Structure 1
C-alpha cells in the first residue's frame, strides 16, 4: 500500500479534511430539506451509524431558508448541495459548514464570485463537484464524457476560484463506472494539492454500489488517493456509512473496529455457520479498537486461520473452541459458545487498551 498523498487541510465544521487527518465518511439525506423534522431524523441516524459529514440538497428558497434551523438542531457538519441557482448558495452560506457546487452550472463569473465572497466571509470551504453526466459544453464537445474531460473541467473550475483568491477547496470528479472514476482521480492527483472527495456517482442499489465503490474507492485509497468519501447507494443511508467504513478498514486506511475472518462454506462444516456468524455480528457490541476476529465452522482451518486473529471461535458438532492469539483457551457447548466468545472479545479489547495506556 502506497503512502497517502499529502494534500492541503481544510476545515468542514470542525472536521479536518486532507493532510494527515483521518479519512472522513460522508452521506446525503434524501428528504425534502425544508422538512426539518424528517431531515433531522435522517441526519441523527447517519450520525449514530458513524457518519462524519452530511450533505443536504438545496433545491429552492424554502430549503435554503430552512438550513439555519436545521443546523441549530444537529451536531454534524452540514454541507449544502447547490445546482444552477447561485442565490441559494448565498443564503446557504450564512448557515452551513461547506458549499458544494459545480461552478460550470452556476453561471457567469460574477455569480461564482458572489458565492466565493459569501464563503470567504464565513470562512467556509467550497467543494467543486464535477460529474461525467454534467460537464460544461466546452469540455463535453471537445473530450466527451471522458476522464480527460472531467479533469479539464476540474482544473478550469479550480482556477476560477483561485482567480478570486479562494483556496479552501476540495474536489470530486465522479463517474458512474469504476474505470472512468479511477482514471479521473489518478490523472488529477499530481496536478493539484487540494483534498479529494471520493465517490462513484449514481452507483445503483446496495449490491451494485458495494462492488463499484469497493473497486474504485478501495483501489484509490490503497494508492494513497482520497481524503474523504461517500458510498452512494439508492435509498440506503446507514448502509452508505457501513460500506464506507468497511472500505476504509479493508483498504488499510482506517485502523478502527472489527475485521472478521470467516471460512468459506464447504462439506467439512460441522455447524450451520451462516446464521451463527450473523448472530455474532448482531450481538457484538460496537468496538472501535482495531481487532481481528475469526469465525470458523470446523477444526481443519480453525487453528491455522486463528493464529493471526486476536480472538477466534471454531464451531464443531454440538460444541466448539475459543482461541486467543492462536492458543486454545477453552472448549464449550454450542449453546454457550457465542456468549463466551463475545465476553472474551471484550476482555481482549480491555487488555489492548490498557497496554496502550488508555
Structure 2
C-alpha cells in the first residue's frame, strides 16, 4: 500500500489513501507521431504500466492528443512546461492529468485558467519539482538544490493550487542524488499529506539507473513513503516498468507474474542455468 496520504483521482485510478502503489512511465516517442506514441503506450500497458505521461511541447503535439487518448488503454498525463494554453488544450483533449510546475506557467491568471480547466474536466495535477530546475531565489537562499529547497518549492507551488480550492494534487521532488531524493521526500511527508509520486530523476542507463532507483525508492517505500513511482532510465521505457514492479515485489507491496528464483551458479553447477533463466 501507499503512504499515509489523502486520496486523489487520476481518471478511474485511486492514488494515495491506502490504494496500492501505482506504476507509471513516460513515452519517449515524438508525441506529434500519434501512431508511434500509441504503440509505445500499449507496450507499456502490456508490461504493467498503469498510467503514462506524454510530453506536450507545442500545438502540433496537442493536435495529436485526441487520437492518442482514443488509442490508450490507460490514463494519460500531459507533461507541460511554461505554456498554460498547452495544459488547457491537453485537458480538453481528454487527458486525465497534468504534470506542471505552477511557478513557470506564468502570472496568476494563467494558473487560474489551468486550475479551472482541471476542475471542469475532473483532472489531477502533479506538481513536479526537480533539482535541476529550482527557482533562482531558492537556489540563492539555500545555496543550491538541496532537499530543503526542493520541499520549499513544492510547498509554495502547492499553496498556489490550494488557495484556488484545488486539492486533486500529487507532488514529486526529484533529484539525481539518491540521498537528496530520500531526504526531500522524508521532509515533505512530515509536513504534507499530499500523495507523493516518487522517483530518482536522470538516474542513468539500465544498470546504474536500476541500482539508484532500487536503493532510493526501496528505502522510501519501505518507510511507507510513496503512492506512485516512476523508474527513470535512459533506455526503452518498458524496462522502467519491469524494474518498478521488481522493486514492489522485493518489498512485498505488489507482484505481477511468477517469481523465478535462481542461484548465481558455481563450480558444482551441472545445467546451463543461464539459458534456463533466459
Q: Scaled by the length of structure 1, what TM-score is found?
A: 0.75
Inter-partner Cα distance in structure 1 for 2:34 and 2:119: 27
Equivalent residue for 1:31?
29
Describe the superposition over 1:297-342 as per-residue Cα deviations: whole angstroms up to 9, x where unpaired.
Answer: xxxxxxxxxxxxxxxxxxxxxxxxxxxxxxxxxxxxxxxxxxxxxx
Q: Matched residue of 1:268: which SS?
A: coil
Return the offset for 1:203.
1.0
Structure 1 residue 108, shift from structure 2 partner: 1.7
Distance 2:225 2:256 in 1: 19
The aligned counterpart of 2:166 is: 166
* Residues 204, 233 of structure 2: 8 Å contact kept: yes
Cα drift, residue 255 of structure 1: 4.3
1:1-358 alignment runs, 5 A limit: 5-94=3-92, 95-143=94-142, 144-278=144-278
Deviations 1:103-147 (A, max 9, x none): 122122221111111101111110000000000112111111101
CA contact (8 A) 1:222 1:252 kept: no
Contact 1:84/1:107 (8 A) holds in 2:
yes
Of 28-37 and 266-275, more deviation after overlay is shown by 266-275
Separation in 2 of the partners of 1:257 and 1:221? 21
Shift of the 26–101 alpha-carbon distance from structure 1 to 2, 3 Å rule, reads same
Once structures 1 and 2 are overlaid, which stretch shifts more, 107-116 or 147-156? 107-116
Structure 2 SS opposite 1:193: coil
User: Is the Cα–Cα contact under 8 Å of residues 49 and 238 in structure 1 kept in the other structure?
Assistant: yes
User: Greater CA radius of gyration, 1 or 2?
Assistant: 1
* d(CA) in 1 for partners of 2:131, 2:124: 23
User: For the Cα contact (< 8 Å) 1:26–1:228, is it kept in 2?
Assistant: yes
User: 2:25 touches 2:49 (CA, 8 Å); kept in 1?
Assistant: yes
Contact in 2 for aligned 1:79/1:98 (Cα 8 Å): yes
Is the CA contact (8 Å cut-off) linking 2:245 and 2:255 kept in structure 1?
no
Q: How far apart, CA to CA, are the structure 2 residues paired with 1:270 and 1:33?
A: 50
Does the 8 Å contact 1:100/1:129 carry over to 2?
A: yes
Q: CA deviation at 1:6?
A: 2.0
Aligned partner of residue 212 in structure 1, secondary structure: helix
Deviations 1:238-279 (A, max 9, x none): 11110000001101211443233222322222223222222x
Say whether the 8 Å CA contact 1:105–1:136 is kept in structure 2. no
Gaps of 5+ in 2: none
Mapped contact 2:2–2:20 kept (Cα < 8 A): no
Q: Distance in 2 between matches of 1:58 and 1:277?
A: 40
- Provide the C-alpha distance between the structure 1 equivalents of 2:263 and 2:255, rounded to a whole number of angstroms: 23
- Cα deviation for residue 45 of structure 1 reads 0.7
Distance (Å, rounded) in 2 between the aligned partners of 1:5 and 1:41: 33
Q: Distance in 2 between matches of 1:53 and 1:122?
A: 17
Higher RCO, 1 vs 2 (CA within 8 Å, ≥6 residues apart)? 2
Which segments of structure 1 move beyond 6 Å, counting only runs of 4 or more? none
* d(CA) in 1 for partners of 2:145, 2:196: 20
Please list every run of 5 or more consecutive structure 1 residues that lacks an aligned counterpart in the other structure: 279-358
| SS class of match (2:260) | strand
